[in-house]
Structure formats: structure tokens, C-alpha cells
Copies of this chain bind each other. A is one copy, B any other.
Amino acid sequence: MQKEKIRYYAVLATTLDGFIAKEENQLSTTWTSKEDKKHLHQMEDESDVLLLASKSYQLAKEPLKNRNLIVLTTKVNSIKKENEKLSFINLQNTNLEKYIQEKNYKKVCVLGGRTAYNYCLKNNLLDDIYITIEPIIFGKGINAFNEEIAMQKYNLIFFKKLNTTGTILLHYSKK
């Protein structure tokens, strides 16, 4: 039997000028539309585990408390299993992909922030990317990625308008 491939997908919301936050350590929930929040919760529901960097976890841990979570942090040595649902992982001393295999997770939803997005991008893990574009401009801010890589090509799978305000959802899949 062929081993089922583990799917990693990033879910992120940006402004029309391409920013996921105005400043570091800021959650998107203050400026994203309710339709994007609904889409995000659906993506979370369909996932086996959510992957977050520690600052994003600190900001979102209350609404995410009943979900399977892997939190990236340098504050543990390798892996700290808080309970059946929640693990803290230090990427420097742990093989994340192997741990996800052992836990038998098949659908990994990468929620950010930049540490989580960058790690997955750098290690060529992102099979799919779901980008919501809100019709606003920050002028200055934080990009999802900040990683020196060779250019990567994706396929556009679908695009749709989520509301009358003009929020757009784009789904890309790796070429």
C-alpha cells in the first residue's frame, strides 16, 4: 500500500498591497472580513493539526484551545507534549515532518506567523496556499515570507469573491 502523502497548506490573509500585518506580533483578526474568518475556521475544521509560530499561538491560544496544535518555539529543548492535542517543538533539535508522521497527521494547516510560513517555504513543504486579499492598503507592513529561495511556481486552482466588499480568495497549488 502506498503511503498517503501528508499535505501541508498555508492559510493567510493579506492586504491588497501584500501585507499580513502592519507590525510584527499582530493578528490579522482586527482587519479581516467575517467571510475570511469563516473560511479560516472551515480550513481549521478540515485539518488534522494546525502549525503555528509561538507568537501567533500566544495571540490565538484561547480560540484554538480545542484543536490539535503544534507550536514552534525555541523555549523547549526538542519536543514538549503539553497534552494529547498540544505540542511545543524546537525546530533546531526536532524533525518536524517526522513528528507529524508519527502523530499520523495527514492534513497540516500552516497558520503563521512568518516563522512557520518561512520554515515550510524553505523546506519545500507547501503543497497549497490559500490567500485571502482584503481590499485595504497598509502602506507598510510585514510580508508572509522573508526567505531567500529560488523562485517557485504555483498553479491557480480557484479564485472567488467572498463578499460585496471585495474580499478575494485565491487557492494555489504547487506546480
Interface residues of A (CB under 8 A from B): 14, 16-19, 22, 31, 121-122, 129, 131, 133, 135-140, 143-149, 151-156, 159, 161, 165-168, 170, 172
Contacts of A131 in B (CB 8 A): 16
**Contact between chains at B17 and A151 (CB < 8 Å):** no
- Nearest chain B residue, comparing its CB with the CB of A121: B139
Report whether B172 and A135 are in contact in the complex, using a CB–CB cutoff of 8 Å.
Answer: yes
B19, B31, B136, B152: the one within 8 Å of A154 (CB): B136
A41–B166 alpha-carbon span in the complex (Å): 26
**Is A155 within 8 A of B166, CB to CB?**
yes
Chain multiplicity (copies): 2
Bound state CA distance, A138 and B151, in angstroms? 5
- Nearest residue (CB) in B for A163 is B156
Partner among B137, B140, B149 whose Cβ is within 8 Å of the Cβ of A139: B149
The 4 closest A-B pairs by CB, nearest first: A18-B18, A156-B166, A139-B149, A137-B152
Complex A-B: 17 CB contacts under 8 Å = A16-B170, A17-B144, A18-B19, A19-B143, A133-B170, A135-B154, A135-B155, A135-B156, A137-B154, A139-B145, A139-B146, A139-B147, A139-B149, A140-B147, A140-B148, A143-B143, A166-B172
